[in-house]
Copies of this chain bind each other. A is one copy, B any other.
Amino acid sequence: MRAALVDSRRMSTNFPSSVFSPRAVAVVGASSNVDSPGHDYVKALVVAGFKGPIYPINPRAPEIMGLTAYPSLTAVPGDVDLVISCIPADGVLSLIEECRAKGVTTLHLFTGRFSETGDARAAELERAVQRAAAAAGVRIIGPNCMGVFDSSTGLSFRPDLPAERGDVAFISQSGNNSVELMLHGAARGLRFSKVVSYGNGLDLTEADFFDFLATDSETRVIGAYIEGTRDGRRLFAALRRCARLKPVVVLKGGRTGAGSRTAASHTAALAGQRQIWSAMLHQAGAVEVATFDELIDVMVGFAFLRNAEQRAESREQTRDSKQQTANSKQRTTVGVVGGGGGRAVQSADVCEEAGLSVPGLPASIRAFLREKAPQLADWVDNPVDQSILAGSGVSGARILDMMLDSAELDALIANVGEDWVLGRPDAIERMGHLVGRFAEIGEKARKPLAFVLGAADSADETKWRAVETGKQRLTDSRLAVYPSVDRAANALARCLRWWSERAP
């Protein structure tokens, strides 16, 4: 498996390098108006630090953002291999002619108002664009999309995206979903290798990007938002190949026929289509999710849960050795610490409902408690109710640390329990200490460990900052953080199941 993570060019001979690694980019329809896409694209490239020349194209402006602007693509002095188009749809055919003249190999059409409008003439124009581009040897991204982000080459489609290098990729048929995934994923610690919003997918489409990312050495985890496909067989083949090499998480849009359905709503045909998609994704080895939050949660799990893959494999070996009972061998065991009694009960419930098993406290830890806090030794259980430990001299972090070493537990969840901590004197210091201890344990963890640090939804700035600082402390250590224990349990279960199903 590791050996397959070779140079990205091997499996992608048809994929133009100008998509993610252009030598120079021209923005056609670049604008000095700061409230326009034509300005945003230039700014995004500048902010992301694109390494080659950026050529704003504008018939009137002499410069945009300090960069020399040119009246037309053909007026640009140097070579250009990627063009970003922000001009109206009716200018695209002649732009393709200019692209051919200039030797441009990839044209990203932010430009929309083609077939998505439902207008017959617009759809005909789209087909004409397809034919013209094919004849000119120009590959199309879009139309009607945000385009390409690449943290290694400095491509970006919005100035406020997280520009740091990362190993998570996202393929999105929707532009706003690509932005939201990046912003909210970044808040959870995700950093991105490559992101593409491909809109109508007239030429380059989801299967092309899965093929490319399958062997992209900079990409370790792939997420996708897909609304539909023009070639289900090809998509299935690409997904299956990709999911053999790395985790692929897919949110399917239009599961209920949205965007084309009538007031009568669901028909049997649409319901069938949904089942076909789910079956296809499952058979391809991808993880299908149902909501945007779940998409981020599972991507965070694949990105940050430690050694889960090896763990799944070692459990498989144990399974083969038949040392486990029929009951336990089906289910991953999870240890939980932190939060009060109500959180402990909730944690057990949501873990078991997610298909995980929550066994009693390992005997080794109970023996430790019998020595250090004998009055609690028969009381504390798994999940560990933090409030029982108060004043005992044994911390939840200490038990979490011991759980790491227990062979009885496959995975762990640690509730920070910030609502209690933030009600205490010296709250900020306590939060810092607790989260710091958790982060240290997480850093050395050799099994999957998810942290729960609740929604920073307080109107109180001090509390918000404490939660945000704690979250960043954990994500800076590349640890998986979830805003609720049910979301942690679900993501843990889904990632572990995927790894387990792929175990040899």
Identify the A interface with B (CB < 8 A): 34-35, 40, 116-119, 158-160, 172-177, 179-180, 183-184, 187-188, 225, 227, 253-256, 258-259, 261-266, 290-293, 327-328, 331, 339-350, 352-353, 357-360, 378-379, 381, 383, 387, 408, 417, 419-420, 422-426, 454-459, 461, 464-465, 468, 472, 483-484, 486
Contacts and interface: CB of A to CB of B under 8 A. Distances in A.
Contact of A472 (B119, B174, B347, B459): B459
Query: Copy number in this complex?
Result: 2
29 contacts: A118-B379, A119-B378, A173-B342, A174-B343, A174-B345, A176-B343, A176-B417, A176-B420, A177-B346, A179-B419, A179-B420, A180-B342, A184-B419, A187-B455, A188-B457, A227-B345, A253-B342, A255-B353, A258-B352, A263-B408, A265-B331, A265-B358, A265-B359, A292-B346, A293-B486, A456-B456, A456-B457, A457-B483, A461-B465
B175 A341 contact: yes
A371 B341 CA distance: 60
A263 B340 contact: no
Contacts of A423: 40, 158-160, 179
Given A174-B343, A263-B359, 19 more contacts: A117-B378, A175-B341, A176-B341, A176-B343, A177-B342, A180-B419, A184-B454, A225-B342, A254-B349, A256-B348, A258-B347, A258-B383, A263-B360, A265-B327, A265-B358, A293-B484, A293-B486, A456-B457, A461-B465
A262 B360 contact: yes
Contacts of A424: 35
A345 B254 contact: yes
Nearest to A159: B423
Question: Which of A176, A292, A352 has its CB near the most chain B CB atoms (within 10 A)?
Answer: A176
Contacts of A483: 455, 457
Sorted nearest first, the 8 A-B pairs with minimum C-beta distance are A174-B342, A258-B348, A176-B340, A177-B342, A263-B359, A256-B352, A187-B457, A253-B345
A176 B459 contact: no
Contacts of A253: 342, 345-346, 349
Nearest to A175: B340
Question: Which of A188, A264, A408 has its CB near the most chain B CB atoms (within 10 A)?
Answer: A264
Contacts of A422: 160
Contacts of A345: 174, 227, 253-254, 258-259
Nearest to A420: B176
